[in-house]
Amino acid sequence: MRADAQRNRERLIEVAHQVFKERGLDAPLDEVARRAGVGPGTLYRHFPTREALHEAIFSSWIEEVRSHVDKAMLTEGGSREKLLAWFEEYVALLTRNHGAAAKITASLGCQDSPLRTKCQAYADANERVLEAMADDGALREGVDNLDVCRLLGGVATMADQSSLDAHAVRPMLDVIANGVLRS
């Protein structure tokens, strides 16, 4: 790759990160190109679709999810406290960008989404936590990982579009925790 192309690509990702954080994942791509000082054609050359750009934005996703799940598993207390700590971390992570919760959770089902690796990282992390719960004998039978991921994705999506803070989200996570754990 030519040196100027390399620079443009990096600059686009950097600017897009900023713009998407400010105005949400549906922000005008014009603005990304303009602020990066390139023509719209250059943006499209590097990222043919909006999703391709989203994918680049979330590149640190996998490591972030891993570190958050590790942190949550070290929470003081029993299964319930660990599970809720993870749920809270996750919703916080997913609501960091406007529109991300819905898009990432939607790609849980379909194999061909560019966000596939991102949501898979989340699903894997959640499975780790659920398995730890199961090892403690704390998990109800018949609880499916994908269903829990979608429930949390739903909560995060609602929090995203109603601008709910952690305090408002917590009771919903309590209900899910109650539904997932033996009483």
Q: Which residues bind DNA (CB under 7 A)?
A: 1-2, 4-5, 8, 26-30, 37-42, 44-46, 48-50
Q: Considering only residues 32, 105, 118, 139, which one is a binding residue for its own copies as defined by CB under 8 A?
A: 105
Q: How far is the CB of 53 from DNA (least distance, A)?
A: 10
Q: Are 153 and 104 in contact (CB under 8 A)?
A: yes
42 vs 107 by CB, closer to its own copies? 107
CB of 89 to its own copies, least distance (A): 18
- What is the rounded CA–CA span in Å between residue 39 and residue 33? 6
Residue 46 or 116 with smaller CB distance to DNA: 46
Least distance to its own copies, CB of residue 171, Å: 5
Q: Which stretch binds its own copies (CB under 8 A): 5-13, 49-57, 71-79, 160-168?
A: 160-168
In one-letter notation, the amino acid at residue 28 is P
Of the candidates 35, 7, 11, the residue with the CA atom closest to the CA atom of residue 23? 35
Q: Which residues contact 148 (CB under 8 A, 6 or more apart)?
A: 126, 130, 176, 180
- Check binding of 175 to its own copies (CB under 8 A): yes
What Å distances lie between residue 43 and 1, 4, 47, 51, 54, CA to CA? 15, 13, 6, 13, 13
Contact window for its own copies (CB under 8 A) among 40-48, 55-63, 129-137, 155-163: 155-163
Say if residue 183 is exposed, middle or buried (CB neighbours under 10 Å; 0-12, 13-18, 19+): exposed
Provide the 8-state DSSP code for 60: G
**Interface residue with its own copies, options 37, 140, 165, 166 (CB under 8 A):** 140
Residue with the two structure tokens 């408002």: 168
Q: Which residues bind its own copies (CB under 8 A)?
A: 102, 105-106, 108-110, 140, 142-144, 147-148, 150-151, 153-155, 157-158, 161-162, 164, 171-172, 174-180, 182-183
